[in-house]
Amino acid sequence: MQRTPTSALPPSPPAPAITHRQLTMFRAIMLHGNLGRAAEVTSSSQPTLSRELARLEQLLGFDLFDRVRGRLRPTVRALALLQEVERSFVGLDQIAARALELRTLKPGRLRLACLPALAHALVPHALLRFAQAAPQAAVSICPEESPWLEQALSEQRYDLGLSETAEAPAGVELRPLLQVNEVAVLPRGHRLGRKAVLAPQDFDGERFISLAAGDPYRREIDRMFAAAGVQRTTCLETASAVAVCALVRRGLGVAIVNPLTALELSGPDLIVRPLSVGIAFQVSLLLPQVAAPHPLREVLVEAITAAAAQLARPL
């Protein structure tokens, strides 16, 4: 039987030929809010900025600013574009800093990227050990959310990273570091604090503070309660485990969070209890493989590994 040939898809339009100069001027206008100040920081003139901005908008095919009473007001598209431009300029700043290190033959700062929760809970313990081993070393701690964290490491923008991913990004070695379970957190004097281990049924009818919708741990927690037929009262939610614990400490409800944050914030006003149903929480060490490693990277890796092992004992 003769087949009808599949019609070819129309080719994608070519990417606009944007220049670095145009993006520099766009960024200056966005950051300073007016053409006068942007012209000063770019060593240019207002007519030149206006001309380059018009060319950029023509290349992009959409307006970046609304002209309101002689002032420029960024559009939603301009704000979204600025996020991408800022990532590129951060990369250029890092390249310049690295070039200076090579020129002066100094190793420079170790750049550690990590999830915000790990910057609060695991990283300080690791850096205490690292400071004892290398007291003169400098470290930049850069909290990043997934998937930007993994992408930045794949692009070799950091010396090492800490993530919850189980899959190594391209050009990155992954070393499993820690695997424990999520825990319950309760306010002082809560009735569930009398129990050593909490089952899903214990949360029935409780005011519950959730992680943000779309969070992978939120989905696992919701599935656990749905499987047990448990109905909670969920009035509050937030993307931060630290914020969840702060709300619990104020007596606004109970919650389930990662054990590192819970352990770091535990005390008289925040009770931590294990769950009868395991919800795995893992941390991985990510080591870029393309860029030459910082001479002190392995010293920091050893400090992080030892700190993770110490924190895992009470969990």
Tokens 């009770």 locate to 271
The tens-digit pLDDT sequence of the chain (315 residues) is: 444 444 455 555 565 678 888 888 888 888 887 888 888 888 889 889 889 888 998 988 899 988 877 778 888 888 888 888 887 776 666 666 666 655 544 557 899 999 999 999 999 999 999 999 999 999 999 999 888 899 999 988 899 999 999 999 999 999 999 999 999 999 999 999 999 999 999 999 999 999 998 889 999 999 999 999 999 999 899 999 999 999 999 999 999 999 999 999 999 999 999 999 999 999 999 999 987 889 999 999 999 999 999 999 887
Q: Which pLDDT score, from 0 to 100, does residue 100 have?
A: 60
Burial 160-175 (b: 16+ CB within 10 A, else e): bbbbbbeebbeebebe
Q: Give the integer Cα–Cα distance in Å for 117 and 131.
A: 21
User: Looking at residue 12, what is its pLDDT?
Assistant: 56
pLDDT of 289 reads 92
Specify whether the CB–CB gap between 185 and 270 falls below 8 A: yes
> Are residues 95 and 283 in contact, defined by beta-carbon separation less than 8 angstroms?
no
Does residue 6 come out as left (phi exceeding 0), alpha (psi in the -120 to 50 range) or beta? beta
Asked if 281 contacts 216 with a C-beta cutoff of 8 angstroms, the reply is no
Indicate the residue type of 172.
V
In angstroms, the first-to-last Cα distance of the chain is 65
Task: Report how far residue 208's alpha carbon sits from residue 216's, in angstroms, rounded to the nearest whole number.
Answer: 17
- DSSP code string of 231-300: --EEEEEES-HHHHHHHHHTTS-BEEE-HHHHHHH-BTTEEEEEBSS--EEEEEEEEESSSPPPTTHHHH
Phi (first) and psi of residue 61, to 5 degrees:
85, 15
Q: Is pTM, for the whole model, over 0.75? A: no
* CA pair distance 50, 87, nearest whole angstrom: 24
